Amino acid sequence: MFLYEPLNDQYYMSSRIFHPSLRSLIKSARGFGIARYNMASSAANAASGERPRRKRFEETPLQSEEPSRGSYRFKNKRMKNGHGDSSQILQTNGTNEEVLLEDVKELLKTMNLHEQGDGKEQAKLAEKFSEVEVTIQKISSTGDGLGLMPDSRQVYVVPFTVPGDTITAKVFKHDEKEGYSMADFIRVNKPSPVRDDSLVKCPYFASCSGCQFQMLPYDYQLAHKKTIVEKAYKNFSNLPPKLIPAIGDTIGSPLQYGYRTKLTPHFDGPPDARRSDGRNGIRRTFKQVPPIGFMKKGTRLTIDIEDCPIGTSAVRKGMRRERERVSKELDNYHRGATLLLRENTERIPKSEFHSAASNEIQEDPDVVIEEKDDDDEFIYKKSCTTDPKSTTTEYIDSFQFTNPAGAFFQNNNSILPLFTSYIRSHILPSPSPQINNTPKITHLIDAYSGSGLFTITLSALFTTSLGIDISPQSISSATHNASLNSLPPSRARFLAADASALFSSITSPAAETVVVIDPPRKGCDESFLRQLMGYGPARVVYVSCNVHTQARDIGVLVGGMKGVDGGFGVGEGAYEIESIVGFDFFPQTGHVEGVAVLRRKEEGKGEEDGDGKVGKEKDNEKVGDAQV
Ligand SMILES: C[S@@+](CC[C@H](N)C(=O)[O-])C[C@H]1O[C@@H](n2cnc3c(N)ncnc32)[C@H](O)[C@@H]1O
């Protein structure tokens, strides 16, 4: 079994049960814009009318760029103590399952239902595939509603629901040990006062797995996302509350629809397509145009979706055009495929645009013309490219970025000016970098740099930058982007390597260096964190699309790691958290991007335990204790 996350051109699989040769075959398919996928039997199921096989926790096709929460196995091995055994430290993967379980436990606790023997008998669990009526109490950090039935301690996990809704759901799985059941949403019987169905813009909402929150006012979505960040640090950082600052209000996206610059609708192959690759002379063909769209929530079935309102106007036009093309060229397809739709922006000086040629551009049905404010001297000609070999261009303020299909780039352009400006104003200490004669920070390390987003947008603040990314494509794009933005190689260097190889290439003094980290969803690995702590930069800015693994890693930087003396003794990290805030890169979905800023503690200013002893003084005691 494996999962292909079509938005990311990445394949995810359960490595334990997936044959390595098949894995390398799949990997070799990466990077093609129209990628082969879906070796599961969804099409066959659809044809036979069978209930489709369910992923344990399905990946939504509209989610952010990084590997599937659903692809990780549930380990449920929580850190015993981040201050202790480092081999335990990175056992938490921040998966949907782990996150959901924390929320289930918390709900049962707050409802006083967590302890057996309180006189309340557990009602018999509903039959599988039967319908139940539940009242939703909370939204989990996974985006699903958590509901209860009267007189039962079982939590029902139901998507597309809001606290206060009474709904009918169809149960498909019980986990009696953990105390929750998974159920499909059927209908709302009594709506919550916070639900506003008039806000829903997509007719496929509550079927498509892409969005979870279209029925929620935007300020409610933002407030909910703040709680995701709060709970992530509470449950996954392993830090005492006093070391976690108040989480900032989630910063919203200027566009709440029409923001997504990349979409990857897909279609399944004809039934049994995988057994008809042509080698045995049989090639299945489509008898009719298959559904082209995204996955139905909770299944591996693709539903036909002709338009997606979270895509930008240019991408939506591209989607309509590509659907039409596929239906005309259906005879050329023998398997399923993913359509890669990416927005490309051409910036044209207004003076040039308002010449005769502009009529031609404006009449082009595939093009969208956008103007920003009057002071901006450009117009933006946006189109949708589907060629996997082409490079797309986009602008963030006056910075220009080009990106090949296979390399990561953030996919909500509307929030990027706000996001990069926030990082620009928090990356250096405020108000002055020169307090207490602290050396001025003039060097940037951009770990997991992608196409150079941070190196380039922060370049004015630093004299040198070093970016590293495992993807050679991203690094060549970062190098090109640096030169496009007049950043010479003497000021920005990039390396294509695993992030933990970074530390052998650093030449800048730690006290004058800030490290930005923006890893994939799984977070940093232990080797990276260990070396980062050993190097000890003055500041660390940790950006992440998975606040749970971010909280885990920050717990290590702040709480300490065995064998790495941050200068404050065994079991105590060298960093303190200055700020944490979420950014809403994906409105209408359950995702939140976290930005945490850490500063290195000053020598001799360790945390007080109430005994008046700090820093090294306290360390000596701890070292002494450890030796006993
Ligand atoms: C979330 S993206 C961030 C990219 C960039 N900071 C941006 O915002 O555009 C994560 C990046 O990490 C890179 N990556 C994944 N694993 C890595 C590793 N072990 N070492 C270095 N880079 C890695 C990916 O290629 C991807 O470009």
> Residues 59-112: pLDDT tens digits?
333 333 332 322 222 233 333 333 333 344 556 788 889 999 999 999 998 887
**19 within domain boundaries:** no
Residue whose Cα lies nearest atom 19 of ligand 1: it is: 498
Where are the strands (E) in 77-219, listed by range? 131-139, 145-148, 155-158, 166-175, 180-190
Ligand 1 centre from 185 Cα, in Å?
35
**312 within domain boundaries:** no
395 is in an annotated binding site: no
Q: Which atom of ligand 1 is nearest to the CA of 407?
A: 27
> Is residue 24 scored above 80 in pLDDT?
no
Q: Count of alpha carbons within 13 Å of 616, Cβ hemisphere only?
A: 4
Residue whose Cα lies nearest atom 5 of ligand 1: it is: 450
Strand, helix or coil for residue 321: helix
Angstrom distance (rounded) from CA 310 to CA 260: 6
**244 within domain boundaries:** yes
- Among 66, 401, 470, which is best to mutate for testing ligand 1, by the most ligand atoms less than 8 A from CB? 470
Angstrom distance (rounded) from CA 473 to CA 429: 33
* pLDDT score of 3: 28
- Is residue 515 a contact partner of residue 542, using CB atoms and an 8 Å limit? no
**542 within domain boundaries:** yes
Helices (H), 59-130: 86-89, 96-110
> CB neighbours of 608 closer than 8 A, spacing ≥ 6?
614
Boundaries of domain holding 478: 229-255+408-627
CB-ligand 1 contact for 469 (6 Å cutoff) = yes
**618 within domain boundaries:** yes
- Cβ burial of 605 (10 Å; 0-12, 13-18, 19+) is exposed
CB-ligand 1 contact for 303 (6 Å cutoff) = no
Please state the ipTM of this predicted complex: 0.99
- Is residue 348 a contact partner of residue 393, using CB atoms and an 8 Å limit? no
- Is residue 62 a contact partner of residue 259, using CB atoms and an 8 Å limit? no
Helices (H), 510-577: 526-535, 547-559
**141 within domain boundaries:** no
**189 within domain boundaries:** no
**546 within domain boundaries:** yes
Which string of DSSP letters, residue by residue, matches 378-415?
EEEEEEEE--TT-EEEEEETTEEEEEETTS---SBGGG
In tens, the pLDDT along 394-433 reads: 999 999 999 999 899 999 999 999 999 999 999 999 865 5
Both structure tokens of 539 = 């500041």
- Residue 581: give its domain's CATH number: 3.40.50.150
> Is residue 366 scored above 90 in pLDDT?
no
In tens, the pLDDT along 253-269 reads: 999 999 999 999 999 99
Residues in the chain: 628
Ligand 1 centre from 561 Cα, in Å?
24
For 50-60, b where at least 16 C-beta lie within 10 A, e where not — what string?
A: eebeebbbbbb
The DSSP call for residue 564 is B
CB-ligand 1 contact for 471 (6 Å cutoff) = yes
Tally of structural domains, the chain:
1
Q: What is the SS3 string spanning 17-34?
A: HCCHHHHHHHHHCCCCCC
Q: How big is the chain by its Cα radius of gyration, in Å?
A: 26
Respond yes or no: is residue 545 known to be catalytic: yes
CB-ligand 1 contact for 409 (6 Å cutoff) = yes
Ligand 1 centre from 368 Cα, in Å?
31
* pLDDT score of 126: 84
**Pairwise pLDDT comparison (628 vs 249), residue with the higher score:** 249
